Each structure stands twice: as C-alpha cells, then as structure tokens.
Amino acid sequence: MADVTQGRPYHHGNLRAALLDAAERVLRERGVDQLSLRELAKETGVSHAAPRRHFPDRQALLDALAEAGFAQLDTALRSALANAGDDFPARARAAATAYTRFATENAALLELMYTSKHRPGATRIVKAAEAPFGLLNALIVQGQERGELQAGDPERIGIVLFATLQGIASIINGNIVKPELRDGLVEAAVDQFLRGTRPLP
C-alpha cells in the first residue's frame, strides 16, 4: 500500500544522491564524527536501515563523499586554470589559490579525502584523486616546457610547493593564522617557489 500521509512514494527515487547531499552538509557544519547514518536517514525521510541499500556501511558513504570531493576539486582547479590566461606564473598562482581555497572552504571534506584515500583497498578514491593531481603535474610540465622551471621529475619539483599549500591550508584550518591571510600567503609561497625553481641561466 502506498503511503498517502507523506508525499514521498515507497521508493525515494534518488536516495543515494540525497544522502550524499545531506552528508556533505553535515560534514561541513558539524564534522565527520557527528555524521550519523540514522540522522541522515531521518532528514531524508527514510527508515534508519534504508541507507544500507546504497552504502554497506558508514565507511562506504564516507568513501563516496571523498570520491566526490576529488571530482569537485578537479572541477575547481580546471575552472581556475581556464580563467587564468596564458602566463605561466599567473596559471601557477591561480591553481595554488584555487587549491588552498578549496582546502580551507572544505576542510573536513579534504581531510576525509586524504584519510580515505590512503586506506587499503580504496581504489576508486585513488582513481578519483588522479584527475586533480594529474592536472597539477601537467602544470609543472608546462612550466618546464616554457623554460620557467628547472627540468627534472615534475612530481619531485612540485612537491615542496604542494606541501606548502597544504600546510597553509592546515594552519588556517587549525586556527593558527587568520583566514584573511590565506591568499597573501599563497602568493608569497608561489613567488618564492618560482624564484627558487627558476632554471639556471
């Protein structure tokens, strides 16, 4: 018998996506450990066991969030680069700013992304992470081709800059420095990187 008391039919129709939406909001507002499947179910208007059809356990939902997070990050980076013109330093600054911005505006999500990623068996997440990381790698290669960066393994070249960006996000999220300083710090870090990694004349 169909439920007439509520508007929703027996099948939700889009429960998986609805749960992920709600989860992302709760994650942002109250952090991972305040995220409960039963609460998500209640908010979404389904029974407490319904989420199980889409996510075998809590971790599976967190993994899905992480995977989606990498896709969002990829989009953010692509869009920043698309609007950055052709000048290499400008492209580097744009990507760095976009990354750090994402990292501070989605602090809990980013943390989840990295902790989920390095759990054994998280192949889907690792796969999803390749897109944004590949983008950054390609940017370094581009800098090398244009003679703005030293030659060598792009990953090794970029890692200190990436670490610095990650660190800037980390100390902002940890309230060690004020969020307003973010973009200034990023610019300083990128400039220092560009100077320190210039090819020898």
- Rule CB under 7 A: which of 16-35 touch DNA? 35
Near its own copies by CB under 8 A: residue from 14, 36, 47, 115: 115
Closer to its own copies by CB, 3 or 180: give it.
180
Give, as ranges, the residues between 6 and 45 that touch its own copies (CB under 8 A).
33
Residue 54 or 78 with smaller CB distance to DNA: 54
Report if residue 5 touches DNA, rule: CB under 7 A: no
Binding flag, residue 164, its own copies (CB under 8 A):
yes
Single out the residue of 7, 10, 153, 175 in contact with DNA (rule: CB under 7 A): 10
For the bound state, the minimum distance from the C-beta of residue 94 to DNA, rounded and expressed in Å, comes to 38
| Residue closer to DNA, measured from CB, 48 or 198 | 48
Q: Which of residues 116-135 bind its own copies (CB under 8 A)?
A: 117-118
CB 37 within 8 A of CB 51: yes
DSSP string, the chain: ----SSSS-SS-SSHHHHHHHHHHHHHHHH-GGG--HHHHHHHHTS-TTGGGGT-SSHHHHHHHHHHHHHHHHHHHHHHHHHTS-S-HHHHHHHHHHHHHHHHHHTHHHHHHHHHHHTSTT-HHHHHHHHHHHHHHHHHHHHHHHTTSS--S-HHHHHHHHHHHHHHHHHHHHTTSS-GGGHHHHHHHHHHHHHHHTPPP-
Residue number, 60 or 177, with CB nearest to DNA: 60
Q: Which two tokens stand for residue 50?
A: 């319904």
Nearer to DNA, 43 or 105 (CB): 43
Q: How many C-beta atoms lie closer than 10 Å to residue 174's C-beta?
A: 9
Tell me the per-residue interface mask from 49 to 78 with DNA, x by CB under 7 A, - otherwise: xx-xxx-xxxx-------------------
How big is the site for its own copies, counted in residues (CB under 8 A)?
27
Confirm or reject binding of residue 48 to its own copies (CB under 8 A): no
CA distances from 158 to 138, 169, 174 (A): 10, 17, 24
Give the interface with its own copies as residue ranges (CB under 8 A).
33, 114-115, 117-118, 159-160, 162-168, 170-171, 174-177, 181, 185, 188-189, 192, 195-196
